[in-house]
Amino acid sequence: MNISRIKVSGYRSLRSIDFPLGGLNIFVGENGTGKTNLYRSLQLIQSAANGSLAQDLVREGGMPSAIWAGVSKLAGKSRIILTVELSERETNQRCFRYECEIGFVAPPPSPAFPLEPQIRTESLINLQCRRPLTLLHRRNAFMSAVDNEGVEQDKMNFLLSSETALASLRDTRRYPDLDAVRATLQAWRFYHEFRTDRDAPLRRPSLPITSSALDSDGGNLAAVFATLRHIRQETVDLDIAVADAFPGARLIVPFPEKSATFGLEYLEYPGRLFDASELSDGTVRFLALAGALNAYRLPPFIALNEPESSLHPNLLRPLAKMIQKAATKTQVWVVTHSEVLSNEISNQTSVPSVNVFKKDGQTWLEGLSMLGHYK
């Protein structure tokens, strides 16, 4: 399933914003406009599926930091509301809408710490029926869900305020639609700020395990390359990307034994293999993006946050070509402050970029109405 629509309110600079998504989505804007908040809101939706939503909000400073800056941070009615609609990939028919509301102090009988993020309400709605059918409803500690026979099951005092119903209710046979939505959200991949220091996961050998997609930290990059080269024997797109970025160079991926490794062989240094520990930061970062966008089985959704970081300008066109190819196979979201990269992607795909800007302290997208909806 693809993401067809996102709505976020009350989160950092996102007072209220509601917009549709296509197969390829390009957001460009200056630093400080709230591009990363858009990206983070999607990560938080995935956190709800993983059961780590409250923990992830605490890690970024808790509710006092996460709540929209224009609202009194201790106001009783302050809320963060995250909504996502999913559609069937081939037909674009709407399938499900999931919504989660997070607030401050929860009323009894839901004990919690004073400034802890607390899940107030959740809902999962099936949009494929003639009339929308609520499959999951949660308010504070109380939850009800409709099983595969259409019977509503009540779970009284089942949840802590830090727990999400989407992650907690696990019964694939009884609640198959809920399981399908959770699995889809969990499969999303977010790539940002790849470490490139000497001890970075990208530079270390990988476990010799067949890998269909790149981990978020890039720690299985060598295994992704080895899977393409030696198991699937499908490296045409990967080899083209490396040749476009580094003319005359070849990506060398030895057959894994105790570990999986990779390196580059340059035209001017025949027979000399530069392994991952020797490559420049920009080269390693580009290869990580190549692994993310050319992996054997791409995730249903790939989000790239400022992928141009540390890359030489000559690498932006090859990067745009990789993004264009990946967008023919899966849904891609790109957040960038590089107009050069956004223009390259738009030129190759005919998909226009969306300008992100700040207005009265709020993050806005070009084309939104005053109420935060697309016109």
Give tens-digit pLDDT for 336-349.
Answer: 999 999 999 999 99
Distances (CA, A) of 185 to 163, 180, 264, 296: 16, 9, 35, 19
Measured in Å, how far apart are the chain's first and last C-alpha atoms? 25
Residue 298 has, within 13 A of its CA and on its CB side, a CA count of 21
Helix, strand or coil, per DSSP, at residue 178? helix
Distances (CA, A) of 43 to 23, 50, 138, 188, 293: 18, 10, 21, 9, 19
Mean pLDDT, the chain, integer:
90
Lowest mean pLDDT across 67-81, 145-159, 164-178 = 67-81
Q: Which of 331, 286, 332 is nearest to 307 (CA)?
A: 286
pLDDT computed for residue 307 by the predictor? 95
pLDDT computed for residue 46 by the predictor? 97
Which residues lie closer than 8 Å to 86 by C-beta, 6 or more apart?
Answer: 1, 2, 3, 4, 94, 95, 96, 97, 98, 181, 184
**pLDDT value at 107 more than 60:** no
**pLDDT value at 203 more than 90:** yes
Q: Give the H/E segment covering residue 322.
A: helix 316-326
- The answer to pTM > 0.85 is yes
Question: Mean pLDDT throughout 49-74?
Answer: 82
Q: What's the pLDDT tens digit per position in 219-232?
A: 999 999 999 999 99
Q: Are 159 and 117 a contacting pair, CB within 8 Å?
A: no
Percent of the chain with pLDDT over 70: 93
Separation between Cα atoms, residue 308 and residue 362, nearest integer Å: 25
pLDDT band per the 50, 70, 90 thresholds, residue 150: confident
Q: Are 97 and 119 a contacting pair, CB within 8 Å?
A: no
pLDDT computed for residue 73 by the predictor? 46
Question: Mean pLDDT throughout 269-289?
Answer: 94
Strands (E), 193-300: 250-252, 263-265, 273-275
Which residues lie closer than 8 Å to 262 by C-beta, 6 or more apart?
Answer: 221, 222, 225, 226, 251, 252, 253, 254, 275, 276, 287
Distances (CA, A) of 244 to 107, 293, 321: 59, 15, 9
Domains of the chain: 2-188+356-365 (no CATH), 190-352 (3.40.50)
Planar angle of CA 157, 147, 120, nearest 5 degrees: 35
Say how many C-beta atoms besides its own lie within 10 A of residue 281's C-beta. 17
Q: What's the pLDDT tens digit per position in 232-245?
A: 999 999 999 999 99
pLDDT computed for residue 212 by the predictor? 95
Residue 154 has, within 13 A of its CA and on its CB side, a CA count of 3
